[in-house]
Structure 1
């Protein structure tokens, strides 16, 4: 250590004009002495008398400091080193570290959740309506649903859908889905027929949770629209679901029905359940239906189908 550091690099005006003040119990300048003494219920430090540095420590008067000082005097060699006070101090430090880690994880979870909501809110702004319509009209999955909602302030929702999903291998899955959820702000109730477009390439990508934004208005007849992002929640972890092309799975829906009230804001659905009814190879329908098996086009189809080990008509 630089000898002048005891005097904050100003030895002529500070308390250590020669820069030769001795180190305290934990080394360094007077600040370290004060910290060491405070942990033991005292004030302490070096003062210069008759040209010599003299160490002086004085117990504080308050009850908390008196308790610390008493514990220190009972075991000066081990106090806050390897005794119960040291263990208690270490436990406190560890608890603070765990609390900080939980707060960081909670903040990360909130950030990821807000990311999906912000994406949804951005998508339904006027400047992105073309993108929104494209997501609805040209998705890999289509849904035809019956949905209901009701609430005052915070609303509840439920939905059952007939779903078709075009897979990357050319097949199409048909199935039923069900989910429930919540939305804010919600004032009123409604029952609607809903159609949605989405970009998952497999039913597994539709399972789980969704978060996004919605708007609905009804006075007898109600209309609504929403945009959601699919997410997976595992404990405190939230991951955006991706399809086979690496795109975030999003769903855009339009609905009409009967209802009264107003809803607009954040919408979340939970635990979407998918039940597959059957899989259809659309190439079979496109190939065989318009042609007889004995025409030239039909023969080409027969060859196409035989390569895929499908039964021929």
Structure 2
């Protein structure tokens, strides 16, 4: 890669406070740290002050002091001792007059069609405001100069209106969120009551579970048939029928098939299971791909198992991480606690 002059572009790497990673070379001329000028003494000229890269500090105090800035209690420091995120190429820290920071001062001037800078006058550094030349800036500058009080009042009024609008939007968003949560609770109660049967405690437990699933957005449901086995390290397969609640609220039916293997944990025995599935996926494609499993089971004739799967790199239409919860029972012998990975394929019917 060559520069406009035809000469090769050269680069040199420096430590955060400006020290070179290699011997000083004249091949780069006198240009030094953050555009400063290197001196044979080892110092670097940075505008108003001399800087020592070995110390990571200036050798004289900042000629402009901001008494509201605690970081300037150490007036010799370079860029508030944070050279990875800040720099100080001119050795100055101008004191803003419109705001509490240089950024606020810049924004204050820009909103009125001006740019802001500072010059040295009689040994002192003074802020200056200069109208910008583009049409939009000239319009703002003339409006500001014509009636300063009216301009400031109009600007304050617009800012107040913007704040009021933002607050109204936030309140409406919170109201929708509350209504959505209430709707999910009601739907969960309805789902729990629809099952029916069993003792009162079973119905209450089922209703509580349905409310929890609804609040978590686990509206997609299914039935799964699975088998697994192994000694220490195990594997298994699964086939599921799923009713996917899509982002428009309707249900579509599909199926998934997957194979899994445990990578950490303990496994002994085997089982055949039937279980139910709940997920926050709202498209059949979100079931496909790689996933991470964590779960366990107890097997002594009757199997009771649970599993949680997190889809790797997959999110639903709301931007939520897609995950699936499974639980059920079957027949088998042994026990296992595991984490592992699975590969799933999924299609609509």
User: Shorter-chain TM-score: what band?
Assistant: 0.3 to 0.5
TM-score by length of 1: 0.42
Structure of greater relative contact order (alpha carbons < 8 Å, 6+ residues apart):
1
Structure with bigger gyration radius: 1
